[in-house]
Amino acid sequence: MDLDYLERTAAEADVVGEGQGGRVAAALAIVSGHRLFDSDPETVRGYPTLLGYVLAARELKVYYASRERAEFIQPLDTPPIVGGPVSVDWFRRRVPTPDGHSPLGWLGFCEWILRTSELRPDHPGDFYSRIQGTTYYLPFRREDGLNAALTWAEPVRRSGAV
């Protein structure tokens, strides 16, 4: 396995970012195809982008089995890293947690919103949902070309609100 090539590919996808979702998806597919999401972090020490993916995948797996997730998602399942409802970028980008939520509880709530939203296959990657008077912004991308995976979430603050 050519770790230099994989690091370069993943780092280049990070640079182009969300505007090139297909390029990010391709990089994730390559990393996944080489089974790096299951690697020991020591395997990729010295490769900062790959290390970020490996550590984020570990956190995502912990989340998928968490009690906090089980409060929102029933029956509890174990989705794949690429093709599941949450992107590893949720953990790589360190999505902030709003006051009153635990980090995994916030993610569970956001995953629940996305899963119950009935998005069309051609729906673009920006999604808004209003629940009990609060609007939530939940951007996603289709990392496997089919399933929406959360990349970020935040409550939308109304302008002029105190």
Instruction: Give the mean model confidence (pLDDT) for residues 100-117.
Output: 96
Gap between the Cα atoms of 93 and 31, Å rounded:
17
| Segment 117-157, tens digit of pLDDT | 989 888 888 899 999 999 999 999 998 889 999 999 999 97
| Segment 4-53, tens digit of pLDDT | 988 988 888 877 655 555 677 778 888 888 888 888 999 999 999 999 99
Instruction: Sketch the domain layout of the chain as residue ranges.
Output: 3-155
Query: Residue 4 class from Cβ within 10 Å (0-12 exposed, 13-18 middle, 19+ buried)?
Result: exposed
Whether the Cβ atoms of residue 30 and residue 54 lie closer than 8 Å to each other: no
